[in-house]
Amino acid sequence: MKDLKSYIRTVPDFPADGIMFRDITTLYGNPAALKHAVDLLFGHFRNDRVQMVAGIEARGFVIGGALACRLGAGFVPIRKKGKLPHQAVEESYTLEYGEATLEMHLDAFGAGDRVLLVDDLIATGGTADAAVSLIDHLGGDVVGAGFIVDLPDLGGAAKLRDRCEKVVSLVSFEGD
């Protein structure tokens, strides 16, 4: 099969001028590419005794749910503020413009559970950092973080390695 990178569509100037949006929906829409991405992440984390996969809304739900099934783990949604129906913990973080807040159910897993964080892409790492704080808050053991795409020039994956020893990405776009 072709390089995974070739299944990701780049949309210039979305959602704002100067942003190169790495659109993962074209990879998700291709059965072989989706399976390959899940297989590769499964290969990285299969021996880490993952009990829960925590996926970040919304593109992290797709790859995270599929990976949880492969790993024989449960799935925990990390959502934008106000979407979860039950009692939740929240963590705010800084975006390029303004602030955002993520939430996770307070009873999503037990203290000491082995949790794998998953999202489609890591850029500055602010989103993943807030997600790790949520998992920490519940006493979860963050055994790793998996992404399809890394934008290494924005430094998020390198920063995340200070808090989580195993950070894996499948595709890297240099430049931004």
Q: From the CA atom positions of the chain, what is the Rg in Å?
A: 15
Q: Which of 8, 76, 102, 121 binds ligand AMP (CB under 6 A)?
A: 121
Give the pairing of strands 52-56 and 20-23.
Answer: unpaired
Contact segment (CB under 6 A) with ligand AMP among 46-54, 73-81, 105-113, 122-130 equals 122-130
Q: What value, to the nearest 5°, has the Cα angle with vertex 75 and ends 24 and 103?
A: 80
Contact between 57 and 92 under an 8 Å Cβ cutoff? The reply is: no
Q: Is 59 in the site for ligand AMP (CB under 6 A)?
A: yes
Work out the number of other CB atoms within 10 angstroms of the CB of residue 148: 30
Choose between 51 and 135: whose C-beta lies nearer to ligand AMP.
135
Give me the catalytic one of 22, 59, 79, 91.
Answer: 59
- Please say if 96 is a catalytic residue: yes
CB atoms inside a 10 Å sphere around CB 80? 13
Task: Note if 59 is an active site residue.
Answer: yes
Report the residue from 116, 123, 134, 167 that binds ligand AMP according to the rule CB under 6 A.
123
* ∠ CA 115-68-176, rounded to 5°: 75
Q: Which x/- pattern over 136-165 shows residues binding ligand AMP (rule: CB under 6 A)?
A: --------------------x---------
User: What are the residue numbers of the active site?
Assistant: 59, 96
Residues that bind ligand AMP (CB under 6 A): 19-22, 56, 59, 119-128, 156
